[in-house]
Structure formats: C-alpha cells, structure tokens
Structure 1
Amino acid sequence: MNNMDDNEKNAARLGCLTCPSVILLPGVGTLVKTEFKLPLIHKSSKDEEDNAEFITKSWMIPDMFQFENVGFSKTVGNFKYLVCADCEIGPIGWHCIDNKTSYIADVRVKHMES
C-alpha cells in the first residue's frame, strides 16, 4: 500500500498500533523529514539515554483539531506528547507549543485500509 497520495498527504487512515482507534483521516497529514528524540512506548530497564527513539519521518498536522482521536500530555519544555485517546498508548508523536504544529511518528502508527 502506498503511504501517500499525489500531494504527499496520508493516503490511508492512520491508526493506533494497539487498539482499533483511528488517529487521522486520509488527506490530512503531510509526510516530512524530522529530527526529534521521542521517548519509547515501552521503557526498558536500560539507562535513560536508551529510552528514546530518534524519529526521522513524521506526518505533520497543522491544526490540532484535525485529529480524530488523540490525547495531549502536560507540557514538557516546548512540547506536549501525543497519545492514543482510547488506550493512552504513546507517545505516538509531539505537539510544538511555539508554532502549534503536531507531528505523528510514522513508525508509531499503522496505515489502515480506508
């Protein structure tokens, strides 16, 4: 399945990896290159340094009201972490306080048939 349509928007619904919840409808997110250190969903017993994943490909969502089902954490620095609003698994992405843009890590969601 192709992840993008002709406008580099998500071609399929983006959903939670754990539950059947839909996070984003098709045509809303734009695939962008990112450089963000996102905490792991499942923390291991290793050092704190190992408890993060470097995210390089994300879906950018310009308006937080375009999400179907997402929860926001308390502010951490200039960011809020994003989680599935149904099962609260996450973080699946982050929201920038400064420019009000949100990002969903492509590796933290599944592409669902529309």
Structure 2
Amino acid sequence: MPDCSENFESEIDDGKNKRLVKCKYCSSVILTPASATFSSFEYKLPLIKQNKGNVVNPETEDVLQFWVVNDMMTFYNVGFSNTVGSTKYLTCADCETGPIGYYDIPSKISYVALSRESNSYIIFHMIMLCNI
C-alpha cells in the first residue's frame, strides 16, 4: 500500500510527463518526455478486451487521468482507429493494442489514458488508492 502522504508530482515536471510514455503491452515508446500535459477528468473509454458478440455497444470503463497531446505529430508511435462519431481511438502502432486513449476530432486534441500505458503505473495507483 503506498504512503498516501506522497503524491505523483515526482512523475510530472512543469505539468508535463517527466518520463517516456510506453505501451503497457509491448513497451513501445508512445511519447517522449515533456511532450504531454497531465489532466484529470472522466471519460468512458472502451475496454481493450471486448465481448465479440457486442459490436454495437462496446463495454467501457471510466478513465480519470490522461496525458493530453495538443498536436498529433507529437506522438513518437501511435495508431488511429477509424472515426467513431467525432472520435478516433488511439492504439499502439507496434502491437496494435487499444484503445490506449482517444483523439477528439473537433478540438484536434489527443488523450492517452494513464491506466493504459506502462510508465504511469505509479501515478495511476497513487491516485486510485489515495484518492488524490
């Protein structure tokens, strides 16, 4: 159990990711340090593993923490799904696992879920366990 008097600020430098952001499944680099901004809000992101019979209404989970990327060219390595409404889902370009986040077409902003990338494991669990 983490010491809840600590916080995740050691992983963030000037509001940006301090370390490489990597795929949780194959460790491919998604973002380089200082290329995304931390943000906390709720978004229903489809689960990575879906029931194959439920194509129309995919199962989702509430995701609360994201790395925000203002320019899609900032990514070191990422794939984009076909358009679903006003959204494209982000995948790892190497192992094609996803969604690891989403791209909002109207705003042209991308969001990578901390819970779906490897180097934010500490941040994600500190937030969830300590309610920070």
Q: Please report the TM-score for the alignment, with normalisation by the length of structure 2.
A: 0.77
Identify, as 1 or 2, the structure richer in helix. Answer: 2
Q: Which amino acid aligns with 1:95?
A: Y
Q: Which residue of 2 aligns with 1:64?
A: 72
Where 1:111 maps in the other structure, the secondary structure is: coil
Distance (Å, rounded) in 1 between the aligned partners of 2:116 and 2:80: 15
- Indicate the residue corresponding to 1:9 in structure 2: 16
Match of 2:50 in 1: 43
Q: How many residues align?
A: 111
> Over aligned residues, Cα RMSD in angstroms?
2.1
Shift of 1:36: 1.1
CA positional deviation for 1:42: 1.3
Displaced runs of 4+ in structure 1, greater than 4 A?
44-50
Instruction: Decide which structure has greater strand share.
Output: 1
Q: 2-side partners of 1:108 and 1:44: how far apart? A: 19
**Which structure has the larger Rg?**
2
Residues 49-80 of structure 1, C-alpha deviation per residue, up to 9 Å, x if partnerless?
Answer: 78211111100000000000000001101100
Choose which of 68, 91, 106 in structure 1 pairs with 2:99. 91
2:39 paired with 1:32: yes
What are the ranges of 5 or more consecutive residues in structure 2 without an aligned counterpart?
1-7, 121-132
Using the alignment, how far apart are the partners of 1:52 and 1:3 within structure 2?
A: 27
Partner of 1:74: 82
Instruction: Quote the sequence identity (%).
Output: 43
- Give TM-score scaled by structure 1 length: 0.88
Query: Within 1, Cα distance between the matches of 2:11 and 2:87?
Result: 26
